[in-house]
Amino acid sequence: MLRTGLLDAALQVFIARGFEAASIEGIAKVAGVAKVTVYRHYASKDELFVEVARRAQLSVRARLGTVADAGLPLEAALRAIISRLVEGYTHPDYLAVMRMVIAEAGRFPALGRAMLDDSAQISEPLVAYLQALKDAGQIDIDSPYDAAVQISGLASGAGRYLLLTPGRHPVSRKRSVESLVTLFTRAWRKQP
């Protein structure tokens, strides 16, 4: 629970002040703990930021849950998957953290490596779902992993959400999700 509180406080401070201006003292104050308590869990501000960034990224994976149910029709499953990915990738906290990650990744390579490693975890349920469909002969794809990366990349806005705050209006979201569902089902469904 303490680590969760520290990460919540750190997220709040990093978003409000940016990485450079954020301080362990400020994070400790928001968390309601002594500075030494933060240092017992995290050796540096950099280490704490990496954990905040990883947590933001893995929150997208948590949104997927077990939605990739091989028993659902392809369109319904993709709609649910893509909707949850879009929801995660457009969450204001996620976007704020990823913008900082991009700004800071050049300064500490461990951050970029952690983000890449975690991106594979995000795709795991989707890869398994696509593999099951491929094995059942329902879709025609070469690599379930590459297909999952394509879905995830397009659901994330292919970088545009990091540049411009995405619209969170339900109609706009639905149109975006439906266009991706149509794209992938037309491209991958095996023709009789």
Digit-by-digit pLDDT tens for the chain (192 residues) are: 888 999 999 999 999 999 999 999 999 999 999 999 999 999 999 999 999 998 988 888 888 776 666 567 888 888 888 888 888 888 889 888 888 888 888 887 888 888 878 777 778 888 888 898 899 888 899 999 999 988 888 888 766 666 666 666 677 778 888 888 888 888 888 776
Q: Is the dihedral of CA 29, 30, 36, 42 positive or negative?
A: negative
Q: Report d(CA 31, CA 10) in Å as an integer.
A: 8
What is the enclosing helix (H) or strand (E) of 12? helix 2-21
Q: Could you give the CA distance from residue 122 to residue 120 in angstroms, rounded to a whole number?
A: 5
Same fold, 1-42 and 45-188: no
Amino acid, res. 184? F
- Decide which of 3.30.70.20, 1.10.1060.10, 3.30.365.10, 1.10.357.10 is the CATH code for 45-188: 1.10.357.10
pLDDT value at residue 38? 94
How distant is the alpha carbon of residue 7 from its chain centre?
17
CATH code of the domain made up of 1-42: 1.10.10.60
d(CA 18, CA 170) in angstroms, rounded, equals: 30
The domain limits of the chain are 1-42, 45-188
| pLDDT at residue 66, rounded to an integer | 66
What's the pTM value of the predicted model, to 2 decimals?
Answer: 0.83
Distances (CA, A) of 38 to 27, 100, 101, 107: 8, 21, 21, 22
Q: What is the DSSP string of 41-98?
A: H-SSHHHHHHHHHHHHHHHHHHHHTT---TTS-HHHHHHHHHHHHHHHHT-HHHHHHH
